[in-house]
Amino acid sequence: MSKYYINAAGRKSRINKEIYGHFSEHLGRCIYEGLYVGEDSEIPNVNGMRTDVVEALKEIKVPVLRWPGGCFADEYHWKDGIGPKETRKKMINTHWGGVVEDNSFGTHEFMELCRQLGCETYVNGNVGSGTVQEMSEWVEYMTFEGVSPMADLRAKNGHPEPWKVDFFGVGNENWGCGGNMTPEYYGNLYRRYQTYVRQYNADQPITRIACGPNSGDTEWTKGLLKTLFRNSEPQWHGFADGMSLHYYTIPGSWNHKGSATEFTTEEYYLTLTKALDMENLINRHGAIMDQYDPEKKIGMIVDEWGNWFDVEPGTNPGFLYQQNTMRDALVAALTLNIFNKHSDRVKMACIAQMVNVLQSVILTDGPRMIKTPTWHVFNMFKDHQDADLVESSIETGLVGEGDYKVPNLTESASVDAEGRLQITIGNLSLTEDCPVETSIVGFAGKKACACILRGAMDAKNTFEEPDAVQSEEYKVELTDGGLSFTVPACSIVKITVEE
Ligand code: AHR
C-alpha cells in the first residue's frame, strides 16, 4: 500500500497548456497522408486536411503545433511552398527517405491546419541553410498587416489577413543536422537572426526560441547562454524567450534501437529508466539556466521528445514509422507528470511526432486511422492544461529487472480553472497492483470519477483491432479526508475530484 499526500491549497506553477504540444515534420507519412491528403482525395477532408485525424486531434485539445521540422526546417525554403500548387517546386527530401517533396503543404496549409485544430502556431525557421533575409521575410509574410512586399505577396496568394505566429524557432538542432555549429557560433547567429524576427503586432508578440541542447550536452547550454547574455540588457533576457531541449528515449544503440512491439520485460524497464532521465536533464539544464535567468523568464521548450525505436519491418527506414504500445503509454504518462512537476521552467513540449512518425498519437493506413495508447494518455491528461500544479508526493518502491529499476508509481496533481482536482497516476510495475491511500488537504472532495488505461506491456491498437487498448471508467472511493483506489500493474489512472 502506498500513501499519497496532496495539498490542494499548495498552489505551485501554472501548467502551461503548451506542455501538451505536438510536432509535425515533412518526414515520412506525417504531413502527407497523415495530416494532409489534398482537396481531391477520396479520403474525407476539409481544404485537404483529413477530417478523421483533425477530429481525433481536436478531442485531445492539441494546444500548439510545431512545423516544418526538425532537420527538415534547416533545409526548408518557405517560398517553395507558396503560390499555385502546380508551380511549386518539386524536390527530393534528402534528409528523410529520398522521396519527392512537392511542396503542396506550405505556410498557407499549415495555418489552415492550425485553424481547424484551434491551436497555436509554432513555426521553425531555417538558420542552417537559410539567410537572415529569408527568415525575416517569412515573418513579414506571415504576420505583417499593411503595405509591404511580403504582405502584398500573401494577399496575392489569397490571404490578405495576417496570421498569428505564436512561437518562432530560430533554427533546429544547430549542433547537428542544422549546421554542425559550436554553441558560441550558433549563439552569435541566433542574436543576429532573432533581431529580424520582427514583432509587427505589439498585442501579438512572437515568442522566440533558441536552439538548445541535445540530451545531456550541458556544454551547449553553457556556451549558448554565455553568448546570448553577453552585453544583453537584463530586460532582454538574452534575446530569447525560450530555449529548446531535445531528448529521445532509445532503449538500444543508434543502429539497433529495439523493436517498438517485440521486447522483453527487461527492455521494458530499460526503456522506462531512460525515459525517467528526462527529469535529470531538466534539472541539469535548468540549473544552468537559473544562473542566467533566476526568475525563470526563459522557458525550457522540450520541443522534441518521445520513444524512438526501429522502424516497422518492411517500411522505408527514412520514414521512422513505428507502432505504439502500453510501454509508450507509460512513457508518455511519466514524462507528462515530470513536465507538470517542472512547469515552473518547462513552458512548452512537443511530442515527436503527431502522426505516423516515432511516438505518434495517430497512425493511418490509407483511409483507416487508429488512436494509439499514447493518444489515450494525452486524452486523460488534457485537464491539466492551464491548471495549477499543486503539492503532492507519493510513497514509492523500486520495481524492475536486473540493472533496470524504476519507482513503481508516477503522479502529478493540479487544480483546474473550474476548481476541480485532477490527478494522473501510473503504475510502472508489470506485476504488482498498488493500493493507494490518499490524504487530501485544502480540498473538500464530494464527488470523484476516474478512468483507467491498462493492458499488457505490448498491448497495442491495430487497423484490424483499433480499440484493443482504450480507456474505461474506473472505480475510486472517497474516504474521510481523501481517496482510496488501486492502480493495477502497467496502468494509468486519471481521477477528477469535485468539491
Ligand atoms: O524527429 C526526427 C528528427 O529527430 C528531427 O528531424 C530532428 O530534429 C531530430 O534529430
> Phi and psi dihedrals of 99, rounded to 5?
-100, 165
Write down the pTM of the prediction. 0.98
Q: Report which protein residue has its CA nearest ligand 1's atom 8.
A: 70
pLDDT digits (tens), the chain, 499 positions: 999 999 999 999 999 999 999 999 999 999 999 999 999 999 999 999 999 999 999 999 999 999 999 999 999 999 999 999 999 999 999 899 999 999 999 999 999 999 999 999 999 999 999 999 999 999 999 999 999 999 999 999 999 999 999 999 999 999 999 999 999 999 999 999 999 999 999 999 999 999 999 999 999 999 999 999 998 887 788 899 999 999 999 999 999 999 999 999 999 999 999 999 999 999 999 999 999 999 999 999 999 999 999 999 999 999 999 999 999 999 999 999 999 999 999 999 999 999 999 999 999 999 999 999 999 999 999 999 999 999 999 999 999 999 999 999 999 999 999 999 999 999 999 999 999 999 999 999 999 999 999 999 999 999 999 999 999 999 999 999 999 999 999 999 999 999 9
Q: Which of 173, 184, 432, 437 is catalytic?
A: 173
- Whether 173 is catalytic: yes
Domain architecture of the chain: domains with CATH: 2-8+390-498 (2.60.40.1180), 15-386 (3.20.20.80)
Q: What size, in residues, is the chain?
A: 499
pLDDT at 235: 78
The 8-class DSSP code of residue 232 comes to: -
Q: Taking Cα atoms as reference points, which of 345, 376, 346, 483 lies closest to residue 421?
A: 483
d(CA 352, ligand 1 centre) in Å: 8
What's residue 292's pLDDT?
Answer: 96
Which residues touch 65 (CB under 8 Å, ≥6 apart)? 21, 22, 23, 24, 110, 113, 114, 117, 119, 120, 121, 122, 350, 354
Question: How many Å lie between the centroid of ligand 1 and the Cα of residue 90?
Answer: 22
Task: Quote the DSSP letter at residue 460.
Answer: B
Vertex 256: Cα angle to 254 and 257 (nearest 5) = 70
334 and 328 Cβ atoms separated by less than 8 Å? no
pLDDT for res 435: 98
- Cα–Cα dist 325/268, whole Å: 11
The rounded distance, in Å, linking the Cα atoms of 93 and 32 is: 13
Quote the ligand 1 centre to 205 CA distance (angstroms). Answer: 27
- The pLDDT value recorded for residue 238 is 83
Residue 30 in contact with ligand 1 by CB distance below 6 A: no
Nearest-atom index, ligand 1, CA of 72: 6
- Looking up cell 538574452 gives 238
What's the DSSP call for residue 356?
S
| Whole-number pLDDT of residue 233 | 83
pLDDT at 295: 95
Tell me, in angstroms, the distance from the centre of ligand 1 to residue 71's CA: 6
Residue with CA nearest ligand 1 atom 4: 70
